[in-house]
């Protein structure tokens, strides 16, 4: 049985708090306005979402009046059903994922009833201003990257930005089959463009990052893409790819990412060309 726990909300800026929801170690944000509060990401089950909502209201001293989901992965989305009656926001590509086999698989693994899961009641394509109880928050989509429905949440009066799994500091970024490797650095360029040296960047998992951390991770994701392109051009098949180049992430991360990347290159018509040995 999965153990769902939510750590305490700790202050990170004026009226902004951060809690960690286990077992996924996912960051949950809380932005408190004069008359209501906004929660960013919801945990891994409806019950965990309800626990997050209660903990958030205890810290905020005002009701939770809005919630944003940064992307469709279970540890960010499945708790949304615990926020009944609250205005909820997410990217328009997110909703379709709830009916996909991957969502049902994740729900079964967690012991969560898939029919209890809900999508945000307001979706958007590019940008949305969200009222956090009288405090202005902006949600932005910079194109496909970690998923095709990633949302970045910006609190302008505090210089804090919640980026979901577009960036990670607890571990390497997660390169699942639904990521878009070529486009990912472009989305991170959007984050680099909207932040300043003093900005606080909250990744999906792990401690706060700054702009240079984001720049470094953007470079390494771009390098991963470039190295895959290099080994494909060398004629290396996916099983031989790891040994054929230097890589910007751990071996486990790269070995997970390689089949995903090869499939994406193949979909674009780029496959290893076999060469006859020279004699």
Which residues of this chain interact with Zn ion, rule CB under 5 A?
Answer: 73, 165
Radius of gyration from C-alpha coordinates of the chain: 20
| Smallest distance, Zn ion to C-beta of residue 161, A | 17
Which residue number, 149 or 272, has a Cβ lying nearer to Zn ion? 149
Which residue number, 146 or 236, has a Cβ lying nearer to Zn ion? 146
| Smallest distance, Zn ion to C-beta of residue 260, A | 14
Report d(CA 241, CA 246) in Å as an integer.
10
Which residue number, 188 or 238, has a Cβ lying nearer to Zn ion? 188
Q: Is the peptide bond before 23 cis (omega within 30 degrees of 0)?
A: yes
- Residue 51 to residues 19, 31, 42, 137, Cα–Cα distance (Å): 12, 17, 10, 23
66 beta partners: 38, 87
| Smallest distance, Zn ion to C-beta of residue 89, A | 17
Burial 59-90 (b: 16+ CB within 10 A, else e): bbebebbbbbbbbbbbbbbbbbbbbeebbbbb
Which residue number, 148 or 165, has a Cβ lying nearer to Zn ion? 165
Which residue number, 65 or 70, has a Cβ lying nearer to Zn ion? 70
| Smallest distance, Zn ion to C-beta of residue 11, A | 25
The torsion angles phi and psi of 272, rounded to 5 degrees, stand at -65, 130
| Smallest distance, Zn ion to C-beta of residue 23, A | 14
């Amino acid at each position: 049985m999965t153990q769902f726990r939510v750590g305490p909300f700790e202050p990170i800026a004026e009226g902004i708090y951060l809690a960690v929801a286990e077992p996924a170690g996912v960051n949950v944000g809380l932005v408190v306005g004069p008359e209501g509060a906004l929660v960013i990401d919801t945990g891994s089950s409806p019950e965990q979402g309800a626990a997050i909502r209660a903990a958030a209201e205890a810290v905020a001293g005002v009701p939770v009046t809005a919630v944003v989901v940064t992307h469709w992965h279970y540890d960010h989305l499945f708790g949304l059903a615990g926020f009944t009656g609250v205005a909820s926001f997410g990217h328009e590509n997110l909703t379709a994922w709830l009916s996909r086999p991957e969502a049902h698989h994740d729900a079964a693994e967690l012991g969560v009833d898939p029919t209890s899961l809900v999508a945000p009641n307001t979706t958007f394509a590019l940008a949305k201003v969200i009222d956090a109880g009288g405090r202005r928050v902006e949600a932005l989509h910079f194109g496909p990257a970690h998923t095709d429905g990633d949302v970045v949440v910006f609190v302008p009066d505090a210089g804090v930005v919640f980026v979901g799994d577009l960036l990670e500091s607890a571990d390497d970024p997660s390169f699942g089959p639904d990521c878009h490797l070529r486009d990912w650095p472009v989305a991170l360029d959007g984050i680099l463009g909207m932040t300043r040296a003093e900005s606080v960047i909250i990744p999906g998992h792990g401690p706060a990052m700054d702009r240079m951390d984001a720049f470094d991770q953007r470079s390494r994701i771009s390098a991963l893409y470039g190295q895959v392109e290099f080994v494909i051009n060398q004629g290396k098949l996916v099983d031989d790819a790891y040994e054929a180049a230097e890589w910007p992430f751990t071996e486990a991360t790269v070995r997970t990412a390689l089949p995903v990347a090869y499939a994406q290159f193949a979909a674009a018509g780029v496959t290893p060309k076999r060469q006859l040995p020279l004699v």
